[in-house]
Structure 1
Amino acid sequence: MPLGIVIRKVPGVTRWVSHIWKAVAVLPGAGEASWKELRRDGDTIEYHSATVPLELFRTDTEAYLQGLSAKVPSIYVVMRESGSGHPLEFVLATASPYEAQDYADTGEELVEKVPMPEGLIAWVRDYVEQHHEDEVFVKRKRKNARVDLKEDGIGDARIRQAADVYRAPSTKETVH
Structure 2
Amino acid sequence: MSSSEFPAPGTVGRPTLDVAVVMRRERLHGPSSHWQPWRWTLDSVIPDAPGFGAGPRLLHDDDGAQRWLHPGYKVELFRDEAEGYHLNATTPAPCWFVLWRMDEEATLAPEPIPRPVVVTLSYYEAGRWLDAQETVEQVPAPPEVIDWVRDFVDAHYVIEPKRRRRPESFRPLVDRFGNAASVTTEKKRGPGAGDV
> Aligned pair in 2 of structure 1 residues 87, 45: CA closer, same or farther (>3 Å)?
closer
1:160 aligned residue: none
Note closer, same or farther for the CA distance 1:27–1:33 as it changes in structure 2 (3 Å cut): farther
Q: What is the CA-CA distance between 1:165 and the residue it aligns to?
A: 7.4
Count residues with an aligned counterpart: 159
1:63 aligns with 2:84: yes
Partner of 2:24: 8
For structure 1, the residue ranges without an aligned partner over 5 or more in a row are 156-163
Q: Which amino acid aligns with 2:127?
A: Q
Matched, 1:78 2:94: no
Q: Residue by residue, what CA displacement relative to the aligned partner does 1:116-172 show, whole Å, maximum 9, x if unpaired?
A: 12332232223223x324244274999xxxx869982348xxxxxxxx676378543
Using the alignment, how far apart are the partners of 1:90 and 1:41 within structure 2? 22
In the TM superposition, 1:16-165 aligns within 5 A as 16-31=35-50, 32-85=53-106, 86-107=112-133, 109-129=134-154, 131-137=155-161, 139=163, 152-154=180-182
Instruction: Give the TM-score normalised by structure 2.
Output: 0.66
Relative to structure 1, is the Cα distance of residues 39 and 88 closer, same or farther in structure 2, using a 3 angstrom cutoff?
A: closer
Of the two, which has the highest radius of gyration? 1
Structure 1 distance, partners of 2:96, 2:186, is 57
Give the SS at the match of 1:17: coil
Structure 1 segments, 4+ long, off by >4 Å, are 138-142, 147-151
Aligned-pair identity (%):
26
Structure 2 residue ranges without an equivalent (≥5): 1-16, 107-111
Q: Is the 8 A contact 1:72 1:115 kept in 2?
A: yes
Secondary structure of the 1:54 match is: strand
Q: Distance in 2 between matches of 1:152 and 1:99?
A: 40
Q: CA deviation at 1:40?
A: 4.2
Distance in 2, Cα, partners of 1:11 & 1:148: 61
Larger helix proportion of the pair: 2
What CA distance in whole angstroms lies between the structure 2 residues aligned with 1:105 and 1:166?
A: 48
